[in-house]
Amino acid sequence: KFTGNFFYDYMMGIEFNPRIGKWFDFKLFFNGRPGIVAWTLINLSFAAKQQELYGEVTNSMILVNVLQGIYVLDFFWNEAWYLKTIDICHDHFGWYLGWGDCVWLPYLYTLQGLYLVYHPVQLCTAHAIGVLMLGLLGYYIFRMTNHQKDLFRRTNGNCRIWGKKPEYIECSYVAVDGTKYYSKLMTSGFWGWARHFNYTGDLMGSLAYCLTCGFEHILPYFYIVYMTILLTHRCIRDEHRCSSKYGKDWKKYTAAVPYRLLPGIF
């Protein structure tokens, strides 16, 4: 897909699913292997470095390793779900995904661990429990929201969400070849609270990672600033795409679920 703008094409990619042979898929490999595995390995090596330098591993370092480790384990456990995300279903493979996965992710997502090597923080019990609770709650919302949509789409709405049949809006769209397709947008469960409550859960988890570092320095908080920009931009980008895909049906959906991330606020 060439847009005519060389820099945009380079950044966002041209090929949708570049492959070598049958088994090596560039998008799947780069999104789901080097960076995300390195994230955990680098975090563990930071914990080992703390042990080497100070003879102990702080509770903040353990929290970072546990909370971020859960996120990475979840990725591998639910890999089939991951094939339905925007990265795989809609984005093309270019600099944005390649550099993001191989450079940005392993360097930036390990920021808290790196900070704690040079500025070890031993959190008081209340602070540590608060961070753990926020991180686990964020993870729960992230996982359940994604699970609800996955289940809803896989069963074509023939499932139960919170013990009830899901509510939804019937949508249609016309593909480039002129064929008309039908789809459904769920308006109950977490998807009835906000249009991207999965991002809200992700952001709660991201804030918990930052809070493990205490309040001495602003650097570890760069992560939550970045994630807020990334996910808000992603939300707007996705809604723009859905609006042109579903037209008036998208308007019905946004009227039924008026908020994007925070019910009653945004």
Contact between 49 and ligand NDP per CB under 6 A: no
Closer CB to ligand NDP, residue 9 or residue 239?
239
Contact between 234 and ligand NDP per CB under 6 A: yes
Interaction mask 79-118, ligand NDP, x per CB under 6 A: ------xx--------------------------------
Kindly identify the residues of this chain, within the stretch 194-233, that bind ligand NDP according to CB under 6 A.
Answer: 196, 198-199, 202
Task: Tell me the site size for ligand NDP, rule CB under 6 A.
Answer: 19
Q: How far is the CB of 50 from ligand NDP (least distance, A)?
A: 24
What are the angstrom distances between the C-alpha of 212 and each of 4, 41, 51, 60, 119? 46, 19, 18, 5, 12
Q: Which of 11, 72, 238, 263 binds ligand NDP (CB under 6 A)?
A: 238
Distance CA 70, CA 85 (A): 19
Q: How far is the CB of 73 from ligand NDP (least distance, A)?
A: 14
DSSP for the chain? Answer: ---S-HHHHHHH-S-SS-EETTTEEHHHHHHHTHHHHHHHHHHHHHHHHHHHHHSS--HHHHHHHHHHHHHHHHHHHTHHHHTTSHHHHT---SHHHHHIIIIIHHHHTTHHHHHHHHS-----HHHHHHHHHHHHHHHHHHHHHHHHHHHHHHTTT-S-BTTBPPPEEEEEEE-TTS-EEEEEEE-STHHHH-TTHHHHHHHHHHHHHHHTTTTS-SGGGHHHHHHHHHHHHHHHHHHHHHHHHHTHHHHHHHHHS--SSSTTT-
Contact between 191 and ligand NDP per CB under 6 A: yes
Contact between 183 and ligand NDP per CB under 6 A: yes
Closer CB to ligand NDP, residue 127 or residue 143?
143
Contact between 64 and ligand NDP per CB under 6 A: no
Q: How far is the CB of 83 from ligand NDP (least distance, A)?
A: 10
Largest CA distance in the chain: 66
| Site stretch for ligand NDP (CB under 6 A), options 27-35, 51-59, 115-123, 142-150 | 142-150
| Site stretch for ligand NDP (CB under 6 A), options 8-16, 33-41, 60-68, 190-198 | 190-198
Contact between 242 and ligand NDP per CB under 6 A: yes
Q: Which residues of this chain interact with ligand NDP, rule CB under 6 A? A: 85-86, 142, 146, 149, 152-153, 183, 185-186, 191, 196, 198-199, 202, 234, 238, 242, 245
